[in-house]
Chain A
Amino acid sequence: KNEVEQSPQNLTAQEGEFITINCSYSVGISALHWLQQHPGGGIVSLFMLSSGKKKHGRLIATINIQEKHSSLHITASHPRDSAVYICAVSDRGSTLGRLYFGRGTQLTVWP
């Protein structure tokens, strides 16, 4: 049983396209994280949110607590956005806010 499901698993886009990656979760959460992992590289935190919407440059993250769903949008995508995007949720029922991770969405943006 996966507490966090991401879709799609793989996504290919042309430079300039608008990208959406979805994350659904089944546990009550205290926070949701969006992470980025480049090939051969480490993992970087993009957003942490518990309600509403956050924006950083061309990246926008939204969350709907009632529907247990979050989306990560990339506007005007660029080849440097090619990476694995990972959704993780902090379990509100866990004493230490245990994190559950999705399996990631591999994004490839072609010039």
Chain B
Amino acid sequence: NAGVTQTPKFQVLKTGQSMTLQCAQDMNHNSMYWYRQDPGMGLRLIYYSASEGTTDKGEVPNGYNVSRLNKREFSLRLESAAPSQTSVYFCASSWGSGANVLTFGAGSRLTVL
């Protein structure tokens, strides 16, 4: 099925470890996003990419890096994980800006001990 694929679905890390969340979409969307969702809070934007080769910081970028490898793929990297990064992460994509329908991935639940 067409859509947004995220991996892994679950991950447990120790403080200081690194990992990369992978995201790929097959809808030829230009824009891709990484959000985190924490209990009692709305989704918060970590990074976004308006097109291949461009990335920009969102609301909560500290502790994360991203790569827009090509039009399909947008990865999120935690270089040195901290317990505060325990969250559910969602990748999303759209044709253009936020005024277009968003398609979300299934989410990645990350626990940092």
Contact = CB atoms under 8 A, between A and B. Distances in A.
A83 B47 CA distance: 27
B101 A48 contact: yes
Contacts of A98: 45, 58, 98
Nearest to B39: A103
A30 B58 CA distance: 19
Interface stretch (A14-22, A57-65, A69-77, A85-93): A85-93
Given A33-B102, A41-B106, A42-B106, A90 B43 contact: no
A107 interface: no
Interface in B5-39: 31
B98 A31 contact: yes
A67 to B, nearest CB: 20
Contacts of A2: 42
Contacts, number: 70
Interface residues of B, number: 25
A43 B90 contact: yes
B99 A4 contact: no
Nearest to B59: A98
B50 interface: yes
Contacts of B44: 101
A45 B45 contact: no
B97 interface: yes
Interface string B82-101: 00000000101000111111
Given A4-B42, A101-B42, A45 B90 contact: no
B42 A102 contact: yes
A44 B4 CA distance: 11
Q: Which residue among B50, B97, B107 has the maximum number of chain A CB atoms within 10 Å of its CB?
A: B97
5 contacts: A2-B42, A41-B107, A42-B106, A88-B42, A90-B97
Smallest CB-CB A-B distances: 3 pairs: A97-B97, A101-B42, A90-B98
Given A30-B98, A33-B101, A35-B104, 7 more contacts: A30-B99, A31-B100, A42-B104, A42-B105, A44-B104, A90-B99, A96-B31
